[in-house]
Amino acid sequence: MARVDVNIMGQSYSMVCREGEERALREAAIYLDSKMKAIRDAGKVKGNDRIAVLAALGVAAEFLSVKSPQGPLSELTIMEVKQKISAMHMVLDSALTPQENLF
């Protein structure tokens, strides 16, 4: 396992991922950070939790639009996609749990 430090909305997170997946995790964090900052900068939503939910919904909508018969995920079953999402949730939960204890 490899440790990766990322920054999202000015908050640092230390995460663990499989060897070789560090770049993908960093790119995902940069992408999420840009989505969340765009929502924040639009000024219509207050609170990082609400911003995170809206960003997650936007990313999920983008993901689902890619999941088409011709899309890059077309070879995956829904179960495989759910497993990948579940694995991402576990990584995020393990990174965010220690952060919650700080507040």
12 pLDDT band, cuts 50/70/90, is very high
Domain ranges of the chain: 1-65, 67-97
Architecture of the 1-65 domain? 2-Layer Sandwich (3.30)
Gyration radius from the chain CA atoms: 15
Tokens representing residue 95 in the block: 């990174």
3-state secondary structure of 9: coil
Please list the residues that pair with 5 across neighbouring strands: 14
Residue 3's nearest CA partner among 19, 87, 99, 30 is 19
Over the stretch 58-94, which tens digit does the pLDDT of each residue have?
888 887 766 566 666 667 766 777 788 888 878 877 7
Distance between CA atoms of residues 54 and 19, nearest Å? 30
